[in-house]
Copies of this chain bind each other. A is one copy, B any other.
Amino acid sequence: MSADRLGLILLAHGSRDARWREPFDSLAQKVAGRLPDVAVRVSFLKELEPDIYATADDLTRSGVTRITVVPVFLAMGGHSANDFPVMAGRLCAAHPDVKFRWEEVIGSWEEVIGAMAGAIADRADGGDIED
């Protein structure tokens, strides 16, 4: 047990299409249901709000002392290689008393790739794809 309060930021790309955020909101709701003691938030790189800086401000104001960032991207690309380290540096400088941890992009997690493969294969086995 730790007295630290944990925040979890699901970082998504963003889009001009307002409907684009729906799967991420749904994901955040499901994660929050599984982790009732964790403050779960969605943030966006572009087009949609809030950005990760506003979210980090909000979390720290509410007493969060450790923040884990899960980039909800399918693959490592320009954003993850170039933007994420810059963002991590800015967050660290803005909140020197908060411990940040960055996960790998979720699409590189073996268990997620396995689950997506299983979902595709299950739909095929069930005839949804094959028939």
| A interface residue numbers (CB < 8 A to B) | 2, 6, 8, 10, 12-13, 15-17, 19-24, 26-27, 30-31, 33-35, 38, 68, 70, 72-78, 81, 101, 103, 106-109, 111-124, 129-131
Main SS at interface, chain A: helix
Report, nearest first, the 3 A-B pairs whose CB atoms are least far apart: A115-B115, A30-B117, A34-B121
List 4 other contacts, CB 8 Å, given A17-B76, A70-B120, A111-B115: A8-B124, A20-B77, A70-B129, A106-B119
B112 near A76 with CB under 8 A, answer no
Given contacts A12-B74, A75-B24, A129-B101, contact A17 B81 (CB under 8 A): yes
A31 near B120 with CB under 8 A, answer yes
One complex includes copies of this chain to the number of: 2
B116 near A72 with CB under 8 A, answer yes
What is the bound-complex CA distance between A111 and B119, given in angstroms?
A: 7
Contact partners of A101 in chain B: CB under 8 A? 129
Could you tell me the distance in whole angstroms from the C-beta of A115 to the nearest C-beta in chain B? 3
Could you tell me the distance in whole angstroms from the C-beta of A27 to the nearest C-beta in chain B? 5
A115 near B116 with CB under 8 A, answer yes
What is the bound-complex CA distance between A35 and B122, given in angstroms?
A: 10
